[in-house]
Chain A
């Protein structure tokens, strides 16, 4: 599957133990502004900085949208969504606010990063236990909103 990921989503995926499997099974596209944000993260030696360096060391497809979209979001988010629309592929973000705004304004659907782990589970490449572990690893480094939402996701996944 081809997909465009924003900074938060790609960092989340890098925090999961299945990052390389996800990269092997999907064509992940990022924009220049995502690279710039990752470079900012990489300046610090904390977990997100280390993961940002790891992502920057991978061979990901780099593309920019031809046209920008007028939406009240940060430039990186707007570019990621614009590119996904142009490429006619899924956009991944872990920012529920950005996901809501782009849906309300443009009726454009996005997916949270753990959706890729769910796909691995559906294809029986990972067990439910490892799916939950993967979401928990993503959860460890998120803000209060994503934290609460991902905990909720785990509670539903447990009943799958």
Chain B
């Protein structure tokens, strides 16, 4: 895969810790930072996937709002409720 080189500025203490971890894992500094970033992004993606799944189930009427509250914040629930009405209105306008 094509890669791009870029400059990363970090505190010397953090660089030392990164190098120590890299040495322990027999990896280069680049490999260790890349793996950590990929793990962070995967965790974020997993959280987003769960949020999307919960929102989809609520939109289909398959889970209650109380269950939705376990996964989404209050603001996110307001957004999804508004979004539902927003979309229904847009489609209804065309259908009518």
Contact = CB atoms under 8 A, between A and B. Distances in A.
A23 interface: no
A99 B56 contact: no
A145 B56 contact: no
B55 A145 contact: yes
A148 B56 contact: yes
A156 interface: yes
Contacts of B84: 149, 152
Interface in A140-156: 143-145, 147-149, 151-153, 155-156
Interface of B is mostly: helix
| From A114, A152, A160, residue with most partner B Cβ within 10 Å | A152
Interface residues of B, number: 24
Interface stretch (A3-11, A61-69, A73-81, A117-125): A117-125
Q: Give the contact-size bracket for chain A.
A: 20 to 34
Given A103-B82, A144-B55, A145-B76, 12 more contacts: A96-B82, A100-B79, A110-B86, A115-B90, A118-B93, A118-B94, A144-B51, A148-B52, A149-B84, A149-B86, A152-B87, A160-B95
